[in-house]
Amino acid sequence: MGAAVATARAALAAVLASAPHTSDAELTESIVDAEALVRLVQSFQASLVAEADRRALGRVQGARDTATWLQDRLKLDPGQARARVEVARASDGPSRKALSDGVISLDHARVIATCLRKLPASAAGDVAKVERVLTERARWCRPGDLRRLADGVNATYDRDTAVRDEQAQYESRELHYVTTDDGMVMIKARLDKETGQKFIAALRPVSKPCPATNGQPDPRTPAQRHADGLATLVDLALGSDRMPRVGGQRVQVQVTVDYDDLVRSLNPDAEGVVPGVFADGVPITADNLRRLACDAGILPVVLGGDGVAVDYGREERTAPPAQRAALFRRDGVCAFPGCEHPPGTSQAHHIRHWLDGGTTDLANMVMLCAFHHRTIHHDHWNITVDHGRPVFIPPARVDPQRTPLPGGTATTAVHQRMIRDLVPKPREPEPTHN
C-alpha cells in the first residue's frame, strides 16, 4: 500500500510540474481528471473504513466510535468524519460504483446513504430502486439539490416521520438579538422551513441589486443588500395597519434631539453638534436624523433650549396619502436615475429640508428607496424639479462635470404619455353650412 501511494505521488508530481505549460482546454480536463481520481481514492478509503468499523478499530484504540476515531486520525471536522462513516456503512451498490468511477462525489454518496438508511422497513423492497434513481440523478445535480429530492423520497415513504421532523424543526426555532457596544444590533436565528421560506420570499424582491448611476454593478455586497432588504421589511411592518398597537397607538421609533443641534447640522462644517438619541439611549448623528425626519416612519421629538419637547413631528412635514400617491405616479417607487427598486416602503424626501423652510408639496419632494435616500443625504446630491420631473445633479467626486441626470421611473405614466402621443388627436368637427 505504501509503495502504491509513493508511485501515485510521483506520477502526480510529474503531471503538476507540466501543468503551467498546458492549454486552457488541457488544464480544464486535468482538473476534471483530478476530481475523478479523488473520488476513486475516497471510494477505496470507504472500503477500508467499512472494514475498520466492522472490527470496531476505533474502540480498540480508545475512541468512542469510528467517526470520532477518524476525526482524530485524519484531523477532520466532525461532520466530515460522520459523512465518511455513513458512506462506508452503506451497501456496496450502484452509488459506491458511481463514486469509484468518479461520476458522483462523496457528498452525493452520503446523501444517498442517508436516504436509504432512513427508509422504513415497509420500503425494503424498493431500496435498490431508490438507490438507482438517486444515483442516476446525482450525475446531473449538486448535492444540495439531490438532498431535497432525497428528503422528498423519505417523506413519501414515511409520512409520520416527516411530520415529526418538521415539528421538531418548529420546536427548535429561535431568534436572538443583542445591541452591541457601538449601537449595532446583532441577529442570530434558526427558522423552521415554513417560516424560512416566507422570509426568503419576502427578502428577495427588496434586496435585488441596484445598478450604480454610471451603469456599473451595485457596489453593495450581497450581505449589505440583504441587510438593506431587512430594513425595508421592517419599514413595511411598522407602516402596516395590521401591526399590533401599543397603548392604543401605532408602533413608533422615537428619536430625541436638540433643535439647535438639528439646525446647526445643516452646515457640514459645524463642530460640536450633539447627536440625538433613540429611546434606549443609543445615539444617532443629527445628519442621519435629518434623513429620518423626511418621512413619517420615524418621528423626531425636538427639544427647545430648556429641554422641553417643542415638536413631535409636524403633520405638514409628512406627505399625506394623497400627496404620496401623486409622488408615486410621478416618480415611481424611486426616482433616482436607473433605480429599479421593487415596490416597498419608499420615502418622501424634501428637496429643500423642512428645517430650512422647505414645504411639503410636489415641487419640493421626491420619492426615494431607502438605499438612495441615504445616498442623497450622505453624498450630497442636488435635486431640482424641471417641468414636473425630478433632475439629479451628482457630486463632483461622482461626476466632475456634475452633469444633470433625469430621474423618475414611473413607467405607467410614461407609457400613458407615449400612447397619448401616438394616438392622433381628434379633429375639430368641420362647420356645416345651411
Please indicate whether residue 291 or residue 298 has the higher confidence score (pLDDT).
291
55 vs 49: CA distance, rounded Å? 10
Q: Which of 29-33, 181-185, 288-292 has the lowest mean pLDDT?
A: 288-292
pLDDT computed for residue 298 by the predictor = 44
Residue 187: helix, strand or coil by DSSP?
Answer: strand
Strands 253-258 and 298-303: parallel
136 vs 104: CA distance, rounded Å? 9
How far CA 68 is from CA of 41, 46, 51, 61, in Å, comes to: 21, 15, 16, 11
How far CA 375 is from CA of 9, 44, 341, in Å, comes to: 56, 57, 14
Is the sign of the CA dihedral 389, 392, 393, 399 positive or negative? negative
**8 Å CB contact between 4 and 15:** no
Taking 3-state DSSP, the helix, strand and coil percentages for the chain, each rounded to the nearest 5, stand at 50, 10, 35
User: pTM here?
Assistant: 0.56
Grid cell locating 257: 434631539
Residues with Cβ within 8 Å of residue 53, at least 6 apart in sequence: 66, 85, 88, 89
Q: What is the pLDDT of residues 104-132, one digit of tens each?
A: 999 999 999 999 999 999 888 989 999 99
406 vs 417: CA distance, rounded Å? 17
What are the residues facing 299 on neighbouring strands?
254
Mean pLDDT calculated for residue range 69-82: 91
**8 Å CB contact between 371 and 404:** no
134 vs 417: CA distance, rounded Å? 56
Grid cell locating 140: 446531473
Q: What is the pLDDT of residues 397-416, one digit of tens each?
A: 888 888 888 886 555 444 54
pLDDT category at 214 given cuts 50, 70, 90 is low
**8 Å CB contact between 317 and 293:** yes
pLDDT category at 217 given cuts 50, 70, 90 is confident
Q: What is the pLDDT of residues 346-400, one digit of tens each?
A: 677 878 876 666 777 777 888 888 788 888 877 788 888 887 788 888 888 888 8
Please indicate whether residue 400 or residue 297 has the higher confidence score (pLDDT).
400
The 10 Å CB-count burial string (b at 16+, else e) for 92-108 is ebbbbebbbebbbbbeb
Residue 327 CB-half CA count within 13 A: 27
Neighbours of 353 (CB within 10 A): 19
175 vs 382: CA distance, rounded Å? 41
Residue 394 DSSP symbol: -
**8 Å CB contact between 336 and 382:** no
360 vs 343: CA distance, rounded Å? 23
**8 Å CB contact between 408 and 390:** yes
Residues with Cβ within 8 Å of residue 281, at least 6 apart in sequence: none
390 vs 340: CA distance, rounded Å? 16
pLDDT at 310 over 50: no
97 vs 104: CA distance, rounded Å? 9
Residues with Cβ within 8 Å of residue 352, at least 6 apart in sequence: 358, 359, 364
pLDDT category at 321 given cuts 50, 70, 90 is low
